[in-house]
Structure 1
Amino acid sequence: MIKRYTDHSANERTYLAWVRTAIAVMAFGFLMEKFNLFLTYLSASLNEPDRFQTSIAAEWVGLALFAVGIVLIISATVRFFLFKRAIEADDPVPYDLKLTNLLMSGLLVALAVFLMVYLGDQL
């Protein structure tokens, strides 16, 4: 049996949840980028360039979401190994608020606020 199995499995579940969140953020960025490309091709194929307006902001938001997803995966991986080492240590390790947790959560909140403003402006 693995020593402190429940702690290790909880650490792994947390890691996988962050990776799943990062993949969803990256997929949304990919969707925004491809939809903007779709509108460009659609307006070109209909010979009506003014009918479907594309936005350079949508391209930047798509790329930014992809970059945020990459940062989330890297941060989650670093966090996973730090906690793995702390779980395996025989010495007691105090649990405190980690800067990476605050940064990842803050990044997601900032991203959500930005998307709300961006989508609200498009209406």
Structure 2
Amino acid sequence: MIPHFSDHAANERTYLAWVRTAISVMAFGFLLERFDIFLLFTSRAATRVTENLHTRASQWLGLGLLLVGALMIAGATLRYYRNHKAIEAEASSTYGDTWTARAMAALLVILAIFLTLYVARQVAALS
């Protein structure tokens, strides 16, 4: 019998959920980084000339999301091992959120706001 098995299994499930989320963020970042191809295709297919399209921002935002996804995996790994040690320790310890998790969440909110404004501006330029 493995001591504290249910705690370790919950810790591992949480870690895997973080990794899945990070992979999704990175995949969205890759898609967004290639968003410029879609914009160039639609601007060429448009009946009128669109000069207000700025595709460089989608590349930087996509790269930013790739970086955030990599940082999420690194943070989740550190958190997994910290919780693993806390589960194995005989002494009780406090469980709290870290500043890195809050910083990544804030960064994702800022990126989401920027993405919303960016896409709205590109749609307005195409119409």
With the length of structure 2 as denominator, give the TM-score of the two structures: 0.78
2:70 matched to 1:70? yes
- Structure 2 distance, partners of 1:89, 1:68, is 31
* 8 Å Cα contact 1:79-1:100 kept in structure 2: no
- Structure 2 distance, partners of 1:21, 1:60, is 20
Q: RMSD of the TM alignment (CA)?
A: 2.4
Match of 2:30 in 1: 30
Match of 1:88 in 2: 88
- Structure 2 residue ranges without an equivalent (≥5): none
* 8 Å Cα contact 1:15-1:76 kept in structure 2: yes
2:121 matched to 1:121? yes
Report how many aligned residue pairs link the two structures: 118
Of the structure 1 ranges 51-60 and 81-90, higher mean CA displacement relative to structure 2 is found in 51-60
| CA separation of 1:35 and 1:104: change in aligned 2, threshold 3 A | closer
Write out the 4+ residue segments of structure 1 that deviate beyond 6 Å after TM superposition.
Answer: none
State, as a whole percentage, how many aligned pairs show the same letter: 47
Deviations 1:90-119 (A, max 9, x none): 111122332233223223322222222222
| CA separation of 1:119 and 1:89: change in aligned 2, threshold 3 A | same
